[in-house]
Amino acid sequence: MHSATVLDSDLSARAKIREAALGLFGRSGFGVSLRTVARAAGFSPGLVVHHFGSKDGLRAAVDASVLTLCLERFEILPKDLPADRLARAMADSLSDVLGSSADIRQYLRRCLLDETPAGTTIFDELVAATRRGLMLLERAGGIRADTDPEWRPFQVLSVILGPLLMEPVMQRNIGEPAYAPDAVRRRTAANLDVLSRGLFTTAAVGRDGPTP
């Protein structure tokens, strides 16, 4: 199915080490020692340096693999998609990446904090893509005119990325695994629904300006 599901025995030593590092760095941060990564992958510490040059080299390799995995899903999106389908296509594409591996989700959450080059690239790319999509949608008349154009992309991204960023919280507060395929499906539908029709009835929130 996905590269994350291949058996460990099928991977080269280099790839095994990189996968182990992906999991450990994501779970416990970049402070994890080279020895721990090497032990988890089943090799000696020296081999890690042999293959990646240094600990920073290892991190860069993990970053690069996550980066390409994430971006290639977006590059295969048909560029001439009609605006009314773009939102769902993007949501599906993202769900596909995120649903594939818990390690990658954890690593992405950490990228958000540590501001490694790969992390900034991925998330900035998401912002740019969302912005592009919304502008297309706007030209097609699909967006309410009285909403803030500069702020819209982040509102959409909040709804879409919320489950990723809050996955540990959700895991503790709902029964089902947050990224079970079925949960993702229902969530995607609910999110598109909120973005198109809102959650509250208009009576619930006053239409006056916000409180400072």
Partner DNA sequence: GCGGACACTGAATGACTGTTCAATTTAAGA
Partner DNA sequence: TCTTAAATTGAACAGTCATTCAGTGTCCGC
Residues lying near DNA in the complex (CB under 7 A): 13-14, 32-36, 42-47, 49-51, 54-56
Q: Which CB, 27 or 50, lies closer to a copy of itself?
A: 27
Q: Are 14 and 95 in contact (CB under 8 A)?
A: no
Nearest to 157 by CA among 185, 125, 130, 193: 130
Identified binder of a copy of itself from the candidate list 44, 53, 124, 180, rule CB under 8 A? 124
Task: Give dist(CA 137, CA 154) in Å, integer.
Answer: 15
Pick from DNA, a copy of itself, none: which does 141 bind, CB < 5 to 8 A by kind?
A: a copy of itself
Residue 30 CB, shortest distance to DNA, in Å, is: 8
Nearest to 178 by CA among 93, 98, 89, 70: 98
Pick from a copy of itself, DNA, none: which does 192 bind, CB < 5 to 8 A by kind?
A: a copy of itself
Q: Are 117 and 191 in contact (CB under 8 A)?
A: no
Identified binder of a copy of itself from the candidate list 43, 97, 152, 179, rule CB under 8 A? 152
- Rule CB under 8 A: is residue 115 a binding residue for a copy of itself? yes
Residue 119 CB, shortest distance to DNA, in Å, is: 20
- Rule CB under 8 A: is residue 170 a binding residue for a copy of itself? yes
Q: Which CB, 42 or 198, lies closer to a copy of itself?
A: 198
Task: Give dist(CA 75, CA 81) in Å, integer.
Answer: 13
Task: Give dist(CA 110, CA 96) in Å, integer.
Answer: 19
